[in-house]
C-alpha cells in the first residue's frame, strides 16, 4: 500500500553532444630574479621628538582630561547620594504616617 515509487531515468531525447576533449598545456618556467642587495639601516634617532611646546600641550591636555573625568565621577556620586537621601526621607515619612494611623485606631 505505502510503497515508495522510484523514478526511472528516461533516455535522453534530442541531440546529444560528445564531451569536449581538453588538451593539456605546457608549463613555461620563468627565470628567477636575483635577490636585491641589503639596504643600509637608517641612523638611529628617537621617533618622537618632544619640544617644550609639545610637552606643555600634553600636560595641559592630560590635566583637562583628569578634570573632566573627575567632574563626571563626582556628579554621578552626588546624584546617587541625593537619591539615597531622598529615599531615606520618604521611608521615614511613610513609616511615621503608618505608625500614626495605627495609633489612632
pTM exceeds 0.75, yes or no: no
**Residue found by looking up cell 636585491 in the block:** 36
Q: What are the extents of the domains in the chain? A: 74-105
Instruction: List, in order, residues 6 or more apart from 29 with CB less than 8 Å away.
Output: none
- Residue 44 binned pLDDT confidence (cut-offs 50, 70, 90): confident
Cell of 92: 521615614
Which whole number is the average pLDDT over 30-53? 74
Q: Which is more confidently placed, 10 or 76?
A: 76
The predicted pLDDT at position 46 comes to 61
**Highest-confidence range of 9-18, 24-33, 87-96, by mean pLDDT?**
87-96
CB atoms within 10 A of CB 36: 6
The predicted pLDDT at position 16 comes to 65
Amino acid at each position: 500500500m505505502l510503497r515508495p515509487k522510484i523514478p526511472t531515468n528516461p533516455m535522453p531525447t534530442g541531440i546529444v553532444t560528445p564531451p569536449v576533449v581538453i588538451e593539456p598545456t605546457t608549463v613555461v618556467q620563468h627565470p628567477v630574479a636575483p635577490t636585491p642587495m641589503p639596504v643600509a639601516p637608517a641612523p638611529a634617532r628617537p621617533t618622537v621628538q618632544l619640544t617644550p611646546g609639545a610637552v606643555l600641550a600634553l600636560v595641559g591636555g592630560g590635566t583637562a582630561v583628569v578634570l573632566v573625568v573627575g567632574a563626571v565621577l563626582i556628579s554621578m556620586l552626588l546624584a546617587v547620594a541625593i537619591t539615597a537621601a531622598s529615599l531615606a526621607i520618604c521611608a521615614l515619612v511613610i513609616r511615621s504616617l503608618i505608625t500614626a494611623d495605627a495609633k489612632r485606631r
